[in-house]
Structure 1
Amino acid sequence: MCCKEYIAAYGGAGGKGNRFFLSNENRAPKLFTPGEPGQERVLHLELKTTAHAGLVSGLSNAGKSSLLRAISRAKPAVAAYPFTTLNPHVGIVHYQDYEQVAVADIPGLIRGAHQNRGLGTAFLKHIERCRFLLYVLDLSVPQPWIQLQDLKHELEAYEKGLSERPCVVIGNKVDLAQVIALSALTGDNLEELLLHLRELYDTYVKTEQSQGQSPVKW
């Protein structure tokens, strides 16, 4: 993981310590001069999870945590009820060529999340740092496509362009055409998901490099 250095405040100029007054005549000086006061600032800091991909789902128990456990060594809590995930978890997907892709399990988003319903903005801020998204839909419920519509609406209402980031739509639990239908429980079609995830990552790396940027490595 890469990091950047940021100086929040500068310290004041230091004073002269007793070694400054050391001389042949005074081998143990006790004199000193005080330093100058440094800067004082009040900062509001927000922690935003950094990952290449973000697992995004809505109110239903779509199985993001089970999926993350299936494709990485992360061990988020798994239970048969909505909102099992209360804090983001990051898992690392390892490929045979030793490339690593970081995937974050983002807590569920409900309608009105961009207006801070259900602590929505606290969760949405983590998605800002993701370079591409994995929408996880629960295909066991009626009209699952509405979940995707709601999620994209909330992302776009929170930050313009956020819903347009490169993505893959994952249909979890049952089969459906035109999405990656998989079962995190049995492992069905996980390989297809990992291939799509790698394609998104490779495209991200090429785009960053073409713009003279350094892609985030894990």
Structure 2
Amino acid sequence: MLPRQFIAAHGGAGGKGNRFFLSNENRAPMEATPGESGEERSLQLEMKSMAHAGMVGFPNAGKSSLLRLFSNARPAVASYPFTTLNPHVGVINYRDYEQISVADIPGIIEGAHQNRGLGFAFLRHIQRCLFLLYVLDLSQPEPWTQFHSLQYELRQFDESLLHRPHIIVANKIDLPQAREALQLLRQKTQSKVIAVSALTGENAEELIMHLRELYDEHQPSQQNRKTYSYW
């Protein structure tokens, strides 16, 4: 994509300096004309992180741990909510030198579309992502309710986000009773579900390969690439 240019304000016409009045008769002119005033405008700029994939989920779902698992990014990881206060972007490198950027979006809470929690501060970043990864916590008894809540918050903020390609990343498969929760999750949703463990790395390569499939599918110039590998 070519960079876009935006003219925020037009400058005024410049004045003529003393060099303009230089002549054989006047070798050291001391004359100048003032320039015209330009436009003045106050602008509020918003910075949005741009990544191919955006990980969305509730606090402590394991997004930062997943990003550390398959990229060189090193976001903070802790057991308390809102460890991530700003988006972190990691890059997955493939053997054919293709790269996919993944953004760890700060945790969503119910009412985020009303600017609760970190609110708009992170929802804006999701708008720049080509596809979404809903990171769910399999240690919760009904993980599919997390998925519905996340989609509700995105819908209230920007309904077009629900039409983005997505997969469900069911994290913490290494915990007791996670397999049972995973089976129920797959029954409750029609979305693609990949179960992983950010702690042990289980199924991490499957997730990375599927990210590449999503990327190739939604990059017109890459559609014919079918052979690739990770690292």
TM-score by length of 2: 0.85
Letter in 2 for 1:124: L
Number of aligned positions between the proteins? 208
1:184 to 170, 182, 198: 198
TM-score by length of 1: 0.90
1:125 matched to 2:124? The reply is: yes
Counterpart Cα distance in 2 of 1:208 and 1:197: 13
Q: Secondary structure at the match of 1:171?
A: strand
Deviations along 1:7-37, one digit per CA (max 9) or x if unpaired, are 1111100011111011112222121100000
Contact kept in structure 2, 1:134 and 1:169, CA below 8 Å? yes
Change over 3 Å in CA distance of 1:52–1:111 after alignment to 2: same
Change over 3 Å in CA distance of 1:112–1:46 after alignment to 2: same
- Superposition deviation, residue 2 in structure 1: 5.9
Q: Secondary structure at the match of 2:44?
A: coil
Q: Secondary structure at the match of 2:119?
A: helix
Counterpart Cα distance in 2 of 1:82 and 1:17: 61
2:212 to 193, 198, 204: 198
Change over 3 Å in CA distance of 1:139–1:207 after alignment to 2: farther
Contact kept in structure 1, 2:91 and 2:101, CA below 8 Å? yes
For 1:82-101, what aligned pairs fall within 5 Å after superposition? 82-101=81-100
Deviations along 1:154-193, one digit per CA (max 9) or x if unpaired, are 1011111212210010011114244211111221111100
- Which consecutive residues of structure 2, in runs of 5 or more, have no partner in the other structure? 174-178, 187-192, 224-231
Contact kept in structure 2, 1:53 and 1:102, CA below 8 Å? yes
- Superposition deviation, residue 75 in structure 1: 1.0
Letter in 1 for 2:43: L
- Superposition deviation, residue 76 in structure 1: 0.7
Deviations along 1:96-149, one digit per CA (max 9) or x if unpaired, are 111111111000111111111113122111111111000111111211111101
Deviations along 1:67-91, one digit per CA (max 9) or x if unpaired, are 1111111111111122110110111
Q: Secondary structure at the match of 1:74?
A: coil
Counterpart Cα distance in 2 of 1:28 and 1:68: 66
1:53 matched to 2:67? The reply is: no
Aligned to 1:166: 165
- Which consecutive residues of structure 1, in runs of 5 or more, have no partner in the other structure? 210-218
